Amino acid sequence: MLYKSLLTLSLAATVSLASSVRRDIHKGFGDVDTLVFFGDSYTDEGRLGYMQGNNGDLPPDNFVPSPGTIDSTASGGRAWARIAADMTGYSMYNYAVSGAVCSNDLTPRWLDGINGNFPAVKEYEVPQFKKEHTMTRYKGAGNLNPDKTIFAIWIGTNDLGSGALLTDEHLPGVALPDYTDCVAEQIQTLYNYGARKFVVLNVVPLQRAPHYTHNGPNHYWPDRDSFLGGNTTAISQKMGTHVRSANQIFKYQLPALADSLNGAKVAQVDAYSIFQDIYAHPENYLDAPYNTTGWASHCDTWAACQSWTNTVEPNPDAYLWWDELHPSVKTSTAVAKEFVKALRKESTFATYYF
């Protein structure tokens, strides 16, 4: 009788768990099996590295980036996109390119190493995705089911920063709202192509990145001292104004965009607040002794950094920043966790427009 009771309870628990899983599948973004990423060095897993090693040639179609090693990402390990894919077990396609902006029609950025501008989301990443995939609910080579595919866009670090909007190195007439409009345009383009599920990550508090808070030039910004007289406080404050303004525009632009996309689901992951929470509560994210102001990977020149003759601190997992501009693996993991929770509509760092 006891055995029968335990068996009955076990079966009941199994049925309950299965029902819970089925309900969870339809929670948030619903049934998902594929992630598609667009972005810059925060997300890239080797596309720019391929170009630098091949005389500026674009990667071949269906290029498979590295799963995340110190010489293929800007985080010192796995990028947040790879971490999210590993957490979920979903297939992933990563079109991000280090140095990218949303559009080279707004803020083109030249790189001698590829003898051209960094490929942008609008001109390269989205078209490359469309070249490689069709959106259909029917199975077939190169096909993705729009009902089961999440499209994630995280772009802005280069658009807003040095060498672009911050330092007025943009095309004539371009202003900050053009950047946010460009992000919205990419969502519209993907929607027109068949995509229906989108996650946008907003801009992190770049004003707190060592790139903008520490005195003197670095390998990403050799002529830093020529901008605002090298006044670190003024540089950081101006960067903060750009970031907060862009994020405020997103706050009102994204829900309006979502309302116009019939049948679409759109969410925004508040990367800005995730970073701010790491600053406020590093014990919840980093290894001790926590370091939220310095950075783990040091190299003095662009050539040294590119050849990986850099010095890494003994405990990089204690750092919010891997180098002067890029988040560490620990920080990337925090972003990935909230992204995955957002897919289930469970992240408190996300806003859902559906």
204 pLDDT more than 70: yes
pLDDT (average), residues 312-336: 97
CA 233 – CA 239 distance, rounded (Å): 10
| Residue 128 is assigned to a structural domain of this protein | yes
Once rounded to an integer, what is the mean pLDDT over residues 140-167? 96
Task: Give how many domains the chain has, as a whole number.
Answer: 1
Query: Which residue, among 36, 39, 43, 35, has the nearest Cα to 332 in the 3D structure?
Result: 43
Instruction: Give the model confidence (pLDDT) of 67-105 as tens digits.
Output: 655 457 999 999 999 999 999 999 999 999 999 999 999
Residue 62 belongs to a domain: yes
Helix (H, G, I), strand (E, B) or coil at 164: coil
Residue 114: predicted pLDDT: 97
Q: In the prediction, which pLDDT does 27 show?
A: 80
- Give me the pLDDT at residue 209, please: 98
Please give the helix or strand (H or E) that residue 183 lies within, else none.
Answer: helix 176-193
Structural domain contains residue 13:
no
Q: Of 95-104, 238-247, 270-279, 293-302, which gets the smallest average pLDDT?
A: 293-302
149 within a domain of the structure (yes/no): yes
The answer to whether 97 and 124 are in contact (CB under 8 A) is yes
Q: Which domain holds residue 48?
A: 30-272+331-352
The tokens describing 265, both together, are 């689901």
CATH number of residue 157's parent domain = 3.40.50
pLDDT digits (tens, 9 = 90+) for 105-130: 999 999 999 999 999 999 999 999 99
Would you say residue 295 lies in a domain?
no
Q: How many of the other CB atoms lie within 10 Å of CB of 132?
A: 14
CA-wise closest residue to 313 among 328, 325, 302: 328
pLDDT value of residue 69: 55
Residue 319 inside a domain? The answer is: no
What are the b/e assignments for 234-265, b being 16+ CB within 10 Å?
A: ebbebbeebbeebbebbeebbeebbeebeebb
Cα angle at 311 between 99 and 46, to 5 degrees?
30
271 has pLDDT over 80:
yes
